[in-house]
Structure formats: C-alpha cells, structure tokens
Amino acid sequence: MSHRRSMSAKVIELNIKECSIPIVYEHSSYLPLVSMQLVFRDSGVLASPIAGLSKLASSLLSEGSASMGSVAFSTALESRAVSINASVGDETFVISLHALKSEFAFGIEMLTKLLLDPNYTKDAFEKVQRQAIGRATQKQGDLDFVAGAKLKSMLFVNTPKEYPSSGTVESLSSIELVDIQRYIESHIGLDNLIVVIGGDIESDEALSILRPVLDSLGSVNLPTVERVTTLNTPRAESTYLSTEQAYVYFGAPYDLPYNSSEKYLGKVASFVLGSSGFGSRLMEEIRVKRGLAYSAHSSLNLNRTSGYLWGHLQTKLESMDEAKDVVQKVVNEFVESGITIDELESAKSFLLGSEPLRNETLQQRIGRAFGEYYSDGKLGAKQVELENIASLDLDKINNFIKQHSEIAKLSFSVVTAS
C-alpha cells in the first residue's frame, strides 16, 4: 500500500482568454478515479428570472448533445463508466464529471461536445419540462413540502427565494426552449468559473486535459447575486388540507455575514438548539418532556446570499398550538440564557470528534476545500474553525447567542386539517 498517497488541496490559477480561473485541486491515488466540477458562480436559483428555469436548464444539459441525442450520448458515457451531470444550488450552476483515470480524457472530450452543442431540441425540451411539471404536481400532495414552501414564501417575500427552487406548475409551464438557451449561454462562462478537481491525476496533466473544455467557453460578465432579505416581522399562516397530523415549520432571520469570523459560534449554537438530534434543546422539550412529536429539528443556515433559522416538526392536530408555543419558548429562553457548560462540552466533543469522518473520501475533502475557497477565498479556514471551537469558552458563546436575538422572531407555517 506504500504507493498510495494523498496530499492536501491547493488552489492553482489558470489564465485563459484573459480570465484568471481558480482550480481547487487535490491529488489522491487511493483509487484510479478522477472527479471534476465546473462551478459557475452567480448562476443558480437566485439568478433565475423564472422560478425553476435554472433547474430546467441543468436537466436539459443532462440530455446529451444535439448531434448525438440523449440515448446515444448516455450510452457512450455508460460504455466507458463515465458520468456527466448538471445541477444547481441557490448561487451556483454545477457541471460534474466522474470517471476512471483511464477514461478522464474521454469524459472531457464528451463534456466539450456537450457544451459546444447542447441538446436544444424540441423533444429534449418537452421531455425535461414534462418531467419537471410532473414532479411539481406530485409535490402539491407532499404536506412537508407544502408547509416548508409556504414558510419560505413568507420568510423571503419579494425575492427569488420566495418560490420553490424547482419551480411551480405555472412557472414551469411558462418556460420556453429559448429561455433555457439564453440562460445557459448567459450564465456559463470563464469569468464566473471555479474548477474543482481531484483524484489520481497530476495537476499538470489535469490542466492539459481540461484545456478543450475551457477553450469552449467565453465570458458572460454576470452581476453578483445580491443577498436576499429575510422577514423581520413574525407571521403565522395555516394551510388547510386533508391530514391527520399537523406539519409545523418555523423560521426567523439570522443576521451574520457569510464570511464572518464568528461562523463557528453559529455552528455550536445551532448544534445545541436543534441540529444535534437527541440532546438538543428542541428535542428535549418537544419530545422527551412533553411527547408532542417524534422529532423536532432546527438549523442555522448561512451562505453568501442568505442567513436564517429553519426548523420543523409533526404533531397531533390537537397539540399543534402547544407545540408552536413550546418552540417559541425554547428559542426565547435560548437567546435570553444561552447554553450550559455541559451543553458546550457536549457540542465540542461531537463537532471535533466527528470531523475525521467528514474527510474520509476524496469527494468530501475536495468539497470541503471548495467550500473554504468559495466562502473565504483561501484554504485552511476549516482548521481555524476547529481550533476556535476547541478553545471556545462559555461566556463567548453565550454573548454571541444573546447578540442574535433576531432568531426569536419566529414565523410559523402550519399545514393542518380543514
């Protein structure tokens, strides 16, 4: 096994067509595999002028090239154990390529064909649109989805986050093929690209093989996606449907810059409040002490474009109001009194002890490296975060919690019986 080795990630700058492209790279020869992602900034859900358009565009890019067609393109990939997929997040549009080391060059060749000749055909468009509308229709019967979507529409009113990222039946039905073509051509470019690559390949070889894909792209000159505003005035709304359970979703603003040096404090606070499962404040009060629900969960979500508290539970119809009151009480007391030394030590123990499990695979490691670069513009932030958690004292975390009383401004979306 001595031939196997892995080294930490690094960032390489590559200049093409007057664009400086960051390449987040890690070499690992544990397996003869190569994984790559082309990550296009400011091109995700929040950049979409029509709800669901960015996701529909990613689905179309998974339909192969126009000249080969979907079936022939996917068959060619499968015969060489290569996968190419597109996906979107709130802020990014991502094209992924996974292959054996011996087939990586072939994968790049196929990806280049795809980008130069997307399947902008009526048949491909109607297929992905029909599938997306079908999924949106099915979600109308998913009461968890209904409650969560309603809460987001309340928390992010008058912003792109107000609507489901996958779109609605109405918005998806309004999209035309030309909308997808314009979206792809105006959002996939060299000047908003970050390349993430790792595996059993040297950096020089990887950059050489990558060149045709990068040469196929131009510049798009996109504006930066603005941070969305979270509702600051609590609201409560009910949706009445046929159900034997109440679906309770709750959320509030979380006012912290995405690149704040205090992000690690939010992680500890979130763990204690509701993201740690059994032992969290919410689970103790909702399930253990009162038996109001099988589980209760919350998390503090923070990225470049939004910050908010988000949580949910299911309970009996007759205990719906009590459950809401308990959630509000728990968060109020959390803000007012902070956490205990035992809760802090438990959070430290878990967050520090579980860290090795989050970095076992190449995908996890390069994903972490990308996250560090995307959020902080450099690598190593995660290690600093762990060191800060290890040395964290009770006064510091409780002062942080007290300063973020906005998380107690809870809005509730409930699906209950008509």
Reduced 3-state DSSP string for 223-261: CCCCCCCCCCCCCEEEEEECCCEEEEEEEEECCCCCCCC
State the pLDDT confidence band at 8, using cuts at 50, 70 and 90: confident
**Rounded to a whole number, what is the largest CA-CA distance in the chain?**
66
Domain identity same for 102 and 158: yes
Is pLDDT above 70 for 2?
no
In 187-235, DSSP assigns E strands to 193-199
Work out the angle at residue 385's Cα, subtended by the Cα atoms of residues 383 and 387, and round it to the nearest 5 degrees: 70
Residue 102 three-state SS: helix
- d(CA 39, CA 18) in angstroms, rounded, equals 19
Confidence category of residue 3, pLDDT binned at 50, 70, 90: very low
Q: Give the separation between CA 314 and CA 209, rounded to whole angstroms.
A: 51
Distance CA(81)–CA(36), nearest Å, equals: 15
Question: What pLDDT does residue 121 have?
Answer: 97
Whole-angstrom CA distances from 398 to 41, 142, 255, 345, 401 are: 35, 38, 16, 13, 5
pLDDT band at 277 (very low <50, low <70, confident <90, very high): confident
pLDDT for position 357 = 74
Q: Looking at residue 296, which CATH number applies to its domain?
A: 3.30.830.10
Q: How confident is the model at residue 6 (pLDDT cuts 50, 70, 90)?
A: very low
Helix and strand numbers (H, E) in the chain are: 15, 11
| Integer Cα distance of 171 and 289 in angstroms | 44
Residues 132 and 243 in one domain: no
Question: Does the pTM exceed 0.85?
Answer: yes
Sheet strands side by side (includes 411-417): 236-241, 411-417, 245-253, 307-316, 296-302
> Are 138 and 269 found together in one domain?
no
- DSSP character for 198? E
Helix, strand or coil, per DSSP, at residue 316: strand
Residue 86 sits at φ, ψ, to 5 deg, of -120, 145
Q: How far is CA 15 from CA 192, 215, 379, in A?
A: 13, 11, 20
One domain, residues 194 and 267: no
Last residue of one domain, picked from the residues 186, 215, 244: 215
CA 266 – CA 288 distance, rounded (Å): 25
SS3 content of the chain, % helix, strand, coil (to 5): 50, 20, 30
Whether residues 203 and 85 fall in one domain? yes
Residue 226 in any domain: the answer is no
Q: Are residues 248 and 395 in the same domain?
A: yes
Count of domains in the chain? Answer: 2
Residues ≥6 apart with Cβ < 8 Å to 117: 65, 66, 67
Measure CA of the first residue to CA of the last residue in the chain; give whole Å.
64
Residue where a domain stops, chosen among 146, 180, 215: 215
At 7 the pLDDT is: 59
2-11, 150-159, 183-192, 246-255: which has the minimum mean pLDDT? Answer: 2-11
Who has greater pLDDT, 380 or 130? Answer: 130
Find out whether 164 and 328 touch, Cβ atoms under 8 Å.
no
Judgement on whether residues 125 and 181 belong to the same structural domain of the protein: yes
Q: Is residue 401 part of a domain?
A: yes
Q: What gap in Å lies between CA 114 and CA 86, rounded to an integer?
A: 11
Question: Do 166 and 256 sit in the same domain of this protein?
Answer: no
Q: Identify whether residues 77 and 160 lie together within a single domain.
A: yes
Confidence of residue 377 (pLDDT cuts 50, 70, 90): confident
Same domain, 119 and 156: yes
Q: Which helix (H) or strand (E) holds 172?
A: helix 169-174
Q: How far apart are CA 286 and CA 75, in angstroms?
A: 51
Return mean pLDDT, the chain.
Answer: 94
Tell me: pLDDT of 166 over 70: yes
Q: List all residues 6 or more positions away from 112 whose beta carbon is below 8 Å from its beta carbon.
A: 212, 213, 216
Domain that includes residue 260, residue range? 236-417
**Cα gap 367→55, rounded to integer Å:** 21
Least confident of 86-90, 229-233, 365-369: 365-369
The answer, yes or no, to whether residue 37 has pLDDT greater than 70, is yes
Please indicate, yes or no, whether residues 295 and 211 belong to a single structural domain of this protein.
no
> Residues 317, 252: contact at Cβ < 8 Å?
no
At 228, phi and psi to the nearest 5? Answer: -85, 150
| Residue 329, both tokens | 């009480």
Statement to judge: residues 191 and 155 lie in one domain: yes
Q: How many CB atoms lie within 10 A of CB 57?
A: 25
